[in-house]
Structure 1
Amino acid sequence: MAKINANYEALYILKPDLNEEQIKALVERFKGVVEANGTVSEIDEWGKRRLAYPINDLMEGYYVLMTFTAAAAIPAELDRIFRITDGVMRSMIVCKDE
């Protein structure tokens, strides 16, 4: 039997030069995408951390970990939105059930 919903983790790194309002707006935007057809369990903002290697000449980024439950189509849509959003440097979505 196929799973209707699965548990996912999304880790994304925002540009460090964003102010608090911009960071909060992006976190709420991504949370809204998931909550349209799923549930967000937890959003853990790790804050600014040093990167392992420079990305676009930047040495630090603002890390956010979001845990959620959703149908299989939601992570694909969330990944698409991560890629087209200017403030996002890197992102990764992982299915925790596998």
Structure 2
Amino acid sequence: MQQYESVIILTPLLSDDAAKEAIAKFKSILTEGGAEIVAEDNWGLRKLAYPIEKKSTGYYHLTEFKAPGELIKKLEVEYKRDERVMRFLTIALDKHALAFNEKKRSGAFNKKTETKTEEASN
């Protein structure tokens, strides 16, 4: 199974509960299709780089998962059918992206916070 990463931008008109329900729907599509969720990251409400559908903000959610290739087409069809999704992007991860994501999850890039903590303790 190939490892993928999918980012969706949901409309900002949703309540927090409605956004969580939409994310749960897509997560269930993945798990029912035989995918294994590796990591999830909810970025919350963020400003968009450019207006989409006359909206300047959106709820961002990232999901990293292992899945068979035919499941991606089904997932993206569901993204297109759901009116709550403004944009989405699903990519297959190569070995370099996998290594980067693993380092990011382990906290290897948090050196700024570590040095500030060490300076504060001195």
**If the length of structure 2 is used for normalisation, what is the TM-score?**
0.75
> In 1, distance between residues paired with 2:24 and 2:39?
12
1:49/1:63 contact within 8 Å kept: yes
The residue aligned with 1:9 is 5
Aligned residue pairs total 94
1:13/1:90 contact within 8 Å kept: yes
Structure 1: state its 5+ residue gaps: none
CA RMSD in angstroms comes to 1.0
> In 1, distance between residues paired with 2:19 and 2:62?
13
Are 1:34 and 2:25 an aligned pair? Answer: no
Deviation at 1:97, TM superposition (A): 2.6
Percent identity reads: 31
Structure 2: state its 5+ residue gaps: 96-122
Are 1:19 and 2:19 an aligned pair? Answer: no
Structure having the higher helix fraction is 2
Are 1:63 and 2:65 an aligned pair? Answer: no
Secondary structure of 1:18's counterpart equals: coil
1:6/1:97 contact within 8 Å kept: no
Larger relative contact order (Cα-Cα within 8 Å, sequence gap ≥ 6): 1
Q: Which runs of 4+ in 1 moved over 2 A?
A: none
Partner of residue 47 from structure 2, selected from 47, 50, 53? 50
The residue aligned with 2:118 is none
> In 2, distance between residues paired with 1:27 and 1:42?
13
Amino acid at match of 2:82: T
Bigger Rg over Cα: 2
Structure having the higher strand fraction is 1
